[in-house]
A and B are shown apart, each in its own frame.
Chain A
Amino acid sequence: MTTASYVGIEVELNDEGFFTDPSAWREEMAPMIAKEMGIDELTDEHWRVIRFVRDRYLQTGGGPSVRVLGKTSGVEVKDLYRLFPKGPAKQAAKIAGIPKPVGCI
């Protein structure tokens, strides 16, 4: 467990850098988290995915997989990788302050 400070607010992150408490997240934190991962600017396209991921988490209690994102977010998988080159499901989940999407069993 580590802590990080975004827009002056201290938040707790787990060992892999995901929020331990998704309710601590604020939209203003997103650009700073993204920058740490090498995404310098969050475009409208990025935001569409981030908000989608966040909403889905609030509705279902889990983050969507890449395949779910490709089918339901309105952004195709190829474009998702363009936006989040190191893995859309994980990166978008981190930026949206939600837990790591777990693989189905």
Chain B
Amino acid sequence: MSTVIVIGAGTAGTLVANRLAKQLSPNDTIIAIDQDNSHLYQPGLLFVPFGKAKPSKLTRPRAAQLSRRVTYIQASVESIDTKANTVFLKDRSPIPYDVAVIASGSRVVTEETEGLIGEGWLKDAFTFYTLEGATALRDRLANFTSGRIVVNVVDMPIKCPVAPLEFCFLVDAFFSDRSTRDKVKITYVTPLDGAFTKPVCSSILGSMLNDRNVELITEFNTGSVDYASNTLVSYDGRTVPFDIAVLIPPHAGAEFIFKSPGLGDEFGFIPTEPKSLVSKVASNIFVIGDATDIPASKAGSVAHFEGEVVCNNVLHYLKSEPFEETFDGHANCFIESGHKKAMLIDFNYETEPLPGKFPLRIGAPLLKESRINHLGKLAFAWVYWHVLLKGRDIPLIGSQMPKSGKQFSTKPVREVTPTQSQESH
């Protein structure tokens, strides 16, 4: 007779609530809370600016994604009292819990960058990380024929760290298709010292930018946005002019975390044990998805792979058993590269994205553009709504990262494809 409360009914919250519904005893109560009833398919946002995804098709009611075993409450969480095991809600009675699973995600904070919310916002500067921003950007790109497009990651960490690079590839393809690519200058501006954080991947993505004639500006920490001259200004005084700025503002955890003493860090992310996903705050609080501070990507695939461990550990807690420490930081992302092609990357805490095949020695190519990966990315929308959110496992893809298809530099894996398997290397 326990109450498990899941805070947030996005990707992570929905899949964990549905997993718990299958595993907890019928006497236990499962509650999921979110502030609205609109579940957004976030991977679709990337395609909205190019007219390749309809905004109205990207959302579905949150409640409809949850098992009937789960009680859905639509309310704003004000704070959590971790000592009194109680969640406080706006305009509703507080709810006491035995176990809380925090799945409140991360959000873009536009007010942290000086000048960003100014006269040019949603006119010349946009973010595609929100449905409103992606839609406004679509309308601006539709009429854009020449000038400078600057894609800028303001600061890390961000959700789906490859999305800004995918945006560069897609904007290149968008103007190539319209035969106006030579009139559009595309620049990628990042605070990192390369295109991406992980070395092998960074060099491959860096050369892909180069191949597409996308200028790369590194170690640029955006201090302010100046709409009088339409320039980005870095803290060390460098400037980048733009006609359209596509900004990825810094991210933070949910607002209630800042109002809950001792719960989150300076960005509102919750200190979490990386292998068990138990919070460092209390042993009856678990964290899943973007809300954690673990060194894994803030991505839907990570939430999916975390689901099994979180669910098992909630059960272990209720039975007073020791926690399992099996989450390895597994992430798996498609990188859309334009012209109906995509790459796939697969990595974890220890192993950076490497070339090879996924999930086994025969499979989709890793770190290499292919049409099959693009089809995989498109098919993923169906998998998302029907498999991932339901808290089901995806066949052949376990929560731990597969090693067999990857080319580790010390011990290269021989590519086994129908054409090459006859040859001797």
Contact = CB atoms under 8 A, between A and B. Distances in A.
Interface of A: 65-68, 71-72, 77-78, 80-81, 85-87, 102-105
Contacts of B331: 105
A105 B266 contact: no
9 contacts: A65-B156, A66-B155, A71-B267, A77-B221, A78-B223, A81-B223, A81-B236, A103-B191, A104-B157
Interface of B, secondary structure class, is loop
A85 B296 CA distance: 30
B235 interface: yes
Contacts of A103: 156, 191-193, 197
Contacts of A105: 157, 161, 197-198, 295-297, 331
Interface of B: 155-157, 161, 191-193, 197-198, 219, 221, 223, 235-236, 250, 266-267, 295-297, 331
Contacts of B266: 68, 71-72
Contacts of A85: 236
A68 B156 CA distance: 10
A84 to B, nearest CB: 10
Contacts of A68: 266-267
A71 B267 CA distance: 9
A67 B192 CA distance: 13
A87 B157 contact: no
Given A67-B250, A81-B236, A87-B219, 5 more contacts: A66-B191, A71-B267, A105-B161, A105-B296, A105-B331
Contacts of B198: 105
Given A67-B250, A68-B266, A102 B197 contact: yes
A72 B264 CA distance: 13
A39 to B, nearest CB: 14
Contacts of A102: 197
A77 B223 contact: yes
Contacts of B219: 87
A102 B379 CA distance: 34
